[in-house]
Amino acid sequence: MLGDSAGSLVDSLTLRSIALPPNRVLVSEGEVGVGLFRIARGWAYRYRTSANGCRQIIDFLLPGEIIGLQAALLGAIEHSVRSLTTLSASALDAKLFGVAFRSEPDLAVRLARHVAAEASRVDELLTVIGCCDAVERLAFLMISLYRRQSGRGKIDPLDCPFPLRRQHMADALGLTGAHINRTLNRLRADDIAVIHDHHLSIRDFPRLAALAGTAVP
């Protein structure tokens, strides 16, 4: 929770509400003067597109998270952001970052931690893509998205929201859609994890965590 003064600052710099259907661009790579957006409901993802049209998803964005802090720091944004699901967000004045550092140090620290957390997730994903096989990559993605949600509130590992389509998983993990299908079938056959109707059911948490290279909580 924000303190009274920090909350008042955020409220004063909130410009409008935004609603997007799935698969709509919110921010485009290279944009200058991008504002900040705080996700109220729904999921989005950050991605970059190569010259040959290849898309690399570099992070998924969940409710409560902020979009555009990179642009607030650097003046331009180096990735695009697209809605994954129906998305509701609040547009914030980009001045928020600078004002927070001048007058609301607690809020400034929280924003800085948000930037650091984004960078840390990209580092983890890059390491997994470079060092792990397909099953380990997919296990990592499942565990990391489950843990990010469970850190915000109680989430049933047998019924965890997971709105990613196969192509999203493929573009995040450096795999093909066919490879994702084979890997999902293997996890299902081994009764480790199943994705159904945009939800993830983790049937064997210790085995999935071991495949992901993480400790069981």
* Mean pLDDT for the stretch of residues 168-194: 97
Amino acid identity for residue 142 in this structure: M
Last residue of a domain, one of 104, 127, 150: 127
Residue 152 — pLDDT band, cuts 50, 70, 90? confident
Of the ranges 31-35, 40-44, 59-63, 183-187, which one carries the lowest mean pLDDT score?
A: 31-35
- How high is the pLDDT of residue 2? 41
For the chain, first and last CA: distance in Å? 25
Give the domain CATH number at 23: 2.60.120.10
- Percent of the chain exceeding pLDDT 90 equals 59
What whole-number distance in Å separates Cα of residue 99 and Cα of residue 88? Answer: 25
Q: Which of 127, 144, 160 is the last residue of a domain?
A: 127
Regarding whether 89 and 142 lie in a shared domain, the answer is: no
Is residue 31 domain-shared with residue 109, that is, in the same domain?
yes
What's the DSSP call for residue 109?
H
Within a domain: residue 85?
A: yes
The residue with greater pLDDT, 73 or 174, is 174
Rounded to whole angstroms, the Cα distance separating 192 from 35 reads: 41
Instruction: Please identify, among 72, 102, 127, the residue that sits at the C-terminal boundary of a domain.
Output: 127
Confidence category of residue 204, pLDDT binned at 50, 70, 90: very high
pLDDT value of residue 163? 97
Residue with token string 């800085």: 112
Q: Quote the distance between the C-alpha of residue 95 and its chain's center.
A: 23
Q: Is the dihedral of CA 7, 59, 81, 146 positive or negative?
A: negative
Q: What's the confidence (pLDDT) of residue 15?
A: 72
The tokens 């409560």 sit on which residue?
A: 64
In this prediction, residues 45-73 reach a mean pLDDT of: 89
Q: How far apart are CA 52 and CA 45, in angstroms?
A: 20
9-14: average pLDDT = 71
86 and 42 within one domain: yes
- The pLDDT mean for the chain works out to 88
| Greatest mean pLDDT range, 8-17, 87-96, 107-116, 138-147 | 138-147
Residues 117 and 152 in one domain: no
Backbone angles phi, psi at 170, to 5 degrees: -60, -45
Q: Are residues 13 and 114 located together in one domain of the fold?
A: yes
On whether both 51 and 111 belong to a single domain, the answer is yes
Does 8 score more than 90 pLDDT? no
Judgement on whether residues 106 and 58 belong to the same structural domain of the protein: yes
Residue 101 lies in a domain: yes
Please enumerate in sequence order all residues whose Cβ is within 8 A of that of 214, keeping only pairs 6 or more positions apart, or say none.
140, 143
Tokens describing residue 138? 């997919």
Domain that holds residue 61: 4-127
35 and 98: one domain? Answer: yes
77 and 167 share a domain?
no
Indicate the number of domains in the chain.
Answer: 2
**45 in the same domain as 115:** yes
- Pick the more confident residue, 76 or 213: 213
Whether 196 is covered by a domain: the verdict is yes
Assess whether pLDDT exceeds 90 at residue 11. Answer: no
Q: Please check the confidence at residue 4 and state whether its pLDDT lies above 90.
A: no
Question: Radius of gyration over alpha carbons of the chain, in Å?
Answer: 18
